[in-house]
Amino acid sequence: MIPVSQPQITDYDVELVSDAMRTGWVSSTGPYIEQFEREFAAFCGVAHCVATANGTVAIHLALEALRIGPGDEVIVPDLTFVATANAVRQAGATPVAVDVRQSDWCIDPAGIERALTPATRAIMPVHLYGHPCAMDDIHALAEQHKLRIIEDAAEAHGAVFRGRRVGSFGDLATFSFYGNKIITTGEGGVITTDSPELAARARFLRDHAMSADRRYWHPEPGFNYRLTNLQAALGVAQLSRIDLLLSKRSAILEQYRSLLARDEFIMNPALPGAKPVNWMTSLVIPGFTREQRDELIQVLRTHGVDSRPFFYPLSQLPMYECDGKPVANELSATGLNLPTFPDLSPSDVEDVCRAVNAAFDQVAARPASRARN
C-alpha cells in the first residue's frame, strides 16, 4: 500500500536526536530548543518563535497570549482541521465559521466581513493544504475593525504570499510538526511573532506562568505546553533541509498535474501572488457526490493506494453545527488527498495516477445512487 504520508528520517536526524539523548537534556531544557526556535523564526522572517508540545496547543497558547476568552468570537474557515476550532473553544471563546473561496479553498474575506459582530476579537485564517490565504484583504479588515490575526499555518511551512512567508502576517502564527506535516518533530508546534511582548507572554504561559524572578510564584493559571530538547533536535535536523523537502513536494505535484490532466479534475489551487507549498496533493472532482468520492477512495485502496477525504466542514460537526456553507460543503464532499511525501518516487506517482484514472472511470461509469452531496 502506498501511504498518504510518511516522514523522511535520515541518519542526520538520528544523529542529532542521539546527541540530545547522550547529553542527558531529554526534557524541555537544552540547546536544541533555542536553536530550533531561532532557526524557525529566521525561516519565517520573524523575530520570535516559541516552541510548543503540538500545533493545537500552539493555537490555544496564541489565544491565551492575546487574552482572548469567554465572550469573544474568533472567525475561522469552515473548511479546516477541527483543531483550529477546538483550540478556540478550549480558550473559552466561540469559533465563528465562514465559508472558503472556490479560488483558493481558504477563508473568504467577504465572508469575514459579513460575520463580524461586536464580540469579534480575532481572525484565524488557515493556509489550507499549503495555499496561503488572501492576507492583504484579511489584514485590511483587521486594521479597519481592530481585530487580531492568528494564522494557523500548520499545513503551510514555507508558503509565500506576495513575497512574504506565512507565519509573518499575523499578530501571531502557529505551526504543527506532527508526523505528516512538512517537517516533523514527532509531535510539536511553534508560535511565531514579531512582538516581543506576545512572545514573552507565550513563553510565560507555556511554562506554568511562573514568575521570572520568583521561583514557584504563579500570578495566573498557566500550562505545560513545552517541546522537548529531543524533539527539537529532530526539528533542527529536519529544518536544515526544508528547502529540499519542499522542492521534492513541488516536483511531486507537477508530476501529478501532468498525469491527472483531465477536465473532470481540479487540483491544488495557485492564485497569482501566492506561492503555495504542496503539503497534500489534492484532487477535487466537481461532478461527484460524497458517496462517489468515498467509493473512489475504496477502489483506490484495492489498487494499493491510500488516500484521505477532505475534512468535514466545521458547520457539519455536532459541536459546531450551524448554517451550511456552500463552497466548504462542495469541496468537502468532492475532494481527496493523494499520497504526498518527499520519498515518494516518480514511479510511485505513476502508479497512483494509473490507479486514480482507472478508479475514476469505474466509479463515474456507475450512476450515483443518491442525491448530490
Ligand X SMILES: *Cc1c(COP(=O)(O)O)cnc(C)c1O
Location of C-alpha cell 484514472: 357
User: Where does 193-272 have alpha helices with state H?
Assistant: 196-206, 229-239, 242-259
The window from 148-156, 160-168, 236-244, 340-348 that contacts ligand X (CB under 6 A) reads: 148-156
Could you give the string, one character per residue 159-178, with x where binding to ligand X holds by CB under 6 A and - elsewhere?
-----------------x-x
For residues 4 and 363, which CB has a smaller minimum distance to ligand X in the complex? 4
Q: For cell 517541546, name the residue.
A: 227
**What are 4's three cell numbers?**
498518504
Query: What is the nearest approach in angstroms of ligand X to the Cβ of residue 237?
Result: 18
Q: Binding residue for ligand X (CB under 6 A) from 95, 189, 235, 269?
A: 189
In terms of CB distance, is 54 or 307 closer to ligand X? 54
154 binds ligand X (CB under 6 A): yes
Q: How near is the Cβ of 262 to ligand X at its closest, in Å?
A: 28
Which stretches does DSSP call E strand in the chain? 48-52, 73-77, 94-98, 120-123, 148-152, 160-161, 164-165, 172-176, 189-193, 266-267, 274-275, 281-284, 308-309, 335-338
User: What's the CA gap between 226 and 190, in Å, rounded?
Assistant: 10
CB nearer to ligand X: pick between 109 and 189: 189
Q: How near is the Cβ of 97 to ligand X at its closest, in Å?
A: 14
Is residue 123 a contact residue for ligand X (CB under 6 A)? no
> Strand order of the sheet with strand 160-161?
164-165, 160-161, 274-275
Alpha carbon of 189 to those of 28, 59, 124, 170: distances in Å? 13, 9, 16, 16
**Whole-number minimum distance, CB 204 to ligand X, in Å?**
21
Based on DSSP, count helices (H) and strands (E) in the chain, helices before strands.
12, 14
Binder among 155, 171, 295, 330 for ligand X (CB under 6 A): 155
CB of 126 to ligand X, least distance (A): 5
The distance of closest approach from Cβ of residue 17 to ligand X in the complex, given in angstroms and rounded to an integer, is: 18
Footprint on residues 294-353 left by ligand X (CB under 6 A):
none
33-92 residues near ligand X, rule: CB under 6 A: 54-56, 80-81, 83-84
Give me the least distance between CB of 30 and ligand X, in Å please.
Answer: 21
Q: Which is nearer to ligand X, 56 or 340 (CB)?
A: 56
Instruction: Say what angle helices 242-259 and 229-239 make with each other, to 10 degrees.
Output: 60
Among the listed residues 46, 50, 61, 126, the single contact to ligand X using CB under 6 A: 126
C-alpha cell at 344: 515518494
All three cell numbers of 238? 529536519
In the bound state with ligand X, the residue whose beta carbon lies nearer, of 120 and 176, is 176
For ligand X, the closer CB: 55 or 132: 55
At a CB cut-off of 8 Å and minimum separation 6, what does 108 contact? Answer: 98, 99, 100, 101, 327
Q: Give the interface segment with ligand X, choosing from 150-158, 236-244, 312-320, 329-337 (CB under 6 A).
A: 150-158
Q: How many residues bind ligand X (CB under 6 A)?
A: 14
Q: For residues 5 and 292, which CB has a smaller minimum distance to ligand X in the complex?
A: 5
Distance CA 228, CA 185 (A): 9
Q: How far is the CB of 106 from ligand X (least distance, A)?
A: 11
Nearer to ligand X, 86 or 329 (CB): 86
Q: Looking at beta carbons only, is 100 or 154 nearer to ligand X? A: 154
Task: Give backbone dihedrals phi and psi of 71, rounded to 5 degrees, phi first.
Answer: 90, -15
Joined together, the cell numbers standing for residue 227 give 517541546
> Is residue 227 within the footprint of ligand X (CB under 6 A)?
no
Identify whether the C-beta of residue 114 lies closer than 8 Å to the C-beta of residue 95.
no
Cα(205)–Cα(218) distance, rounded to whole angstroms?
10
Residues that bind ligand X (CB under 6 A): 54-56, 80-81, 83-84, 126, 152, 154-155, 176, 178, 189
